[in-house]
Structure formats: C-alpha cells, structure tokens
Amino acid sequence: MSKERILVVEDQADISGLLKIYFTSQGYEVMTAMRGQVALDLVKRTPPHLALLDVNLPDMTGYDIGKALRANARTKHIPIIFLTARGEKSDKGIGLGEVQANDYIVKPFDIEEVHMRVRNNLALAREKSRTHPVTGLPTAELINEELRRLLSAEIWTLATVHINGFDTFTQVYGSVVGEDVLKFGALLINEVVSELGGQEEFIGQLVTGPDFLITSMPERAKAIVDRIAERFDQEIGLHYSYPDRKRGYILAKNADGTERQEPLMTVSIGVLDSNDGPFYDIRELSETAESVRPLPNLQDGSVRSAVKFGR
C-alpha cells in the first residue's frame, strides 16, 4: 500500500522540521511549505490526503489556504487540521466554522496527540471511501456526489480516462511499479487540468482499475483531454525498461508459458456533454460515459491514445 501524503504548512523551520521527521518516521509521505502560495501550488500538482495548517504565515493566513482548498472541486474533500498558536474562541470559530476544518489544535502541542488526530481523520476518509489509497484523488462517494450534481446542471462535460494495458504491465513489472503508473496518471491529469482548466474542474479515480474521471465545461474539455492523451504518449515510456521502450512493446507470458507481444500503455478517453442527455440517474450517466471510450489508434505502426466525443 502506498504511503498517505500529508501537507504541512508551517513557517517556523523548527516546527516544520519536527513534523516532517516525525510523520515520515511513522510511515507517511510529507510535503512541507513555509508560505501559503507555495502550499497551494504543491496541492495543484500533487493533492495530499490531509492538510496540516498553521494560521500565521508570511503571505496569507492558514484560513485563506483552507478556504481555497474548500472552494476548489479537486481539493474540497481533503481533511484539514489547523495547528496554531491562535487559540481564542473566535479563531476556532473561523477555522471550524467558516473554513469547515475537520480539527483545530492549539500550540504548544503533543506530537502524539497530533498524530492520533491525523490518523483518525485519515481513517474516517478511508471508511467513507472518499480518497483513492494510492493517489489521494476523490473516489466512490465523492464521485457519486459529482455525478449527481451533473444531473441537475445545465451545461457540463464528463470525460472518463482508462489506461490501456495497465494490468499486463503490472503483471510484468510488478504491483509497486504499477502504483507508480497510477500516481503518474493522477499527476499528469492534475497538471493538465491546473494548466487549462479552472476551479470548477473535478478529478476522481475509481477504486478498482486504472480509471479516472474528469468533469469540466465544453469550452475547456477538448483542450484538456487532447493534452492528456498527447502527454501520456510522450511520457509513459519512462516507466518501461530501455529495451522495452526501444522496441515499443513488452513480452508477457501466457498461461502455457509462451510469450506474446503487448503494446506500451495508452489512454482511451470518452467524452460526454450535456447535449448527449438527458440522463436520469448516475448509473445511466456513468455507464454511457464508459461505453463511448474508444480503442487506441494505430498510426504508422504504433499504438496511440485515443479520444472520442459523444455517443
């Protein structure tokens, strides 16, 4: 299982260092930032499973960071814990009320108590199936919430992204390297959506299988999915050995021990928008979205990712 990722935003180097060393020793992946904008830039690229925020920062307050996380469709689900010297009732009211943080801890703190509260909030998120265990992207319950929102919205676009050849790749290279591919896919999609989209875009991932989901608006969707397909084809080769990358395929074993050639991984992206409806429930919407995904393209003897719009 991949490490859960914690974002620590703290401008005092000694406290930041203490938290990083402690939580790393407890088996977490820790990202740190001493300024609010740096933290928000980190989150755009690599969403954490939980954010641990100080309030007093050089460029903005931790409350501002929390509000920004809650306002963004891609980060509104992340558990937020404030860890701050501001312990007045009014301060807690802002953190727990206005920002809707999950917890509020006043300095000085007991590091083991902080760990307990972090662990409890992460466990609660897992129990609710709110985040993918490898990538930290929204899943299950949060995806269903987003699909229900689409059913009542006037204008929308829904794209489903499937990594072709992922199962065979994992069989050949192993599950740990397979998790690296899932992280790569999540990172790539996050980067493209941050570059070409807005705060309204939602990114989710199914718990089973190498499948992602993106909601957007028609005027931005084509540029987003085309760029994802383009970048995936350009960058996926880095996950293969040099010989496999050079020849353009891998050798997988059949049940009888013979070998077969399998192409390098690609993505198939199917795109629906509000004009393809009406849709009456989320099951109909999700099944239709999956059905429009195309097969990979064969161009110049090479397999390429493919995008298809509409049903």
For CATH 3.30.70.270, the residue range(s) in the chain are 141-309
| The pLDDT of residue 301 is above 70 | no
In the predicted model, what is the mean pLDDT of residues 41-67?
Answer: 93
| The pLDDT of residue 305 is above 80 | yes
Residue 26 binned pLDDT confidence (cut-offs 50, 70, 90): very high
In the predicted model, what is the mean pLDDT of residues 158-176?
Answer: 95
Residue 73 binned pLDDT confidence (cut-offs 50, 70, 90): confident
Q: What is the DSSP letter of 264?
A: P
Superfamily (CATH) of domain 5-127:
Response regulator (3.40.50.2300)
**What confidence tens digit (pLDDT) does each residue in 122-145 have?**
988 877 767 888 888 898 888 999
| The pLDDT of residue 243 is above 90 | yes
| The pLDDT of residue 59 is above 80 | yes
Superfamily (CATH) of domain 141-309:
Reverse transcriptase/Diguanylate cyclase domain (3.30.70.270)
Determine what percent of the chain is predicted with pLDDT higher than 70: 98
| The pLDDT of residue 77 is above 70 | yes
| The pLDDT of residue 1 is above 70 | no
Pairing of strands 302-304, 297-299: antiparallel
Residue 153 binned pLDDT confidence (cut-offs 50, 70, 90): very high
What are the angstrom distances between the C-alpha of 240 and each of 82, 139, 165, 198, 244? 41, 28, 13, 33, 6
DSSP secondary structure, 171-239, as one string: HHH-HHHHHHHHHHHHHHHHHHHHHH--TT-EEEE-SSSSEEEEEE-HHHHHHHHHHHHHHHHHHGGGG
Residue 119 binned pLDDT confidence (cut-offs 50, 70, 90): very high
Contact yes or no for 290/212 (Cβ under 8 A):
no
φ/ψ (deg, to 5) at 32: -125, 150
| The pLDDT of residue 283 is above 80 | yes
Partnered with residue 158 across adjacent β-strands are: 215, 272
Q: What is the pLDDT of residue 198?
A: 85
As a whole number, the mean pLDDT across the chain is 92
For CATH 3.40.50.2300, the residue range(s) in the chain are 5-127
**What confidence tens digit (pLDDT) does each residue in 191-215 have?**
999 999 988 899 999 888 899 999 9
| The pLDDT of residue 44 is above 90 | no
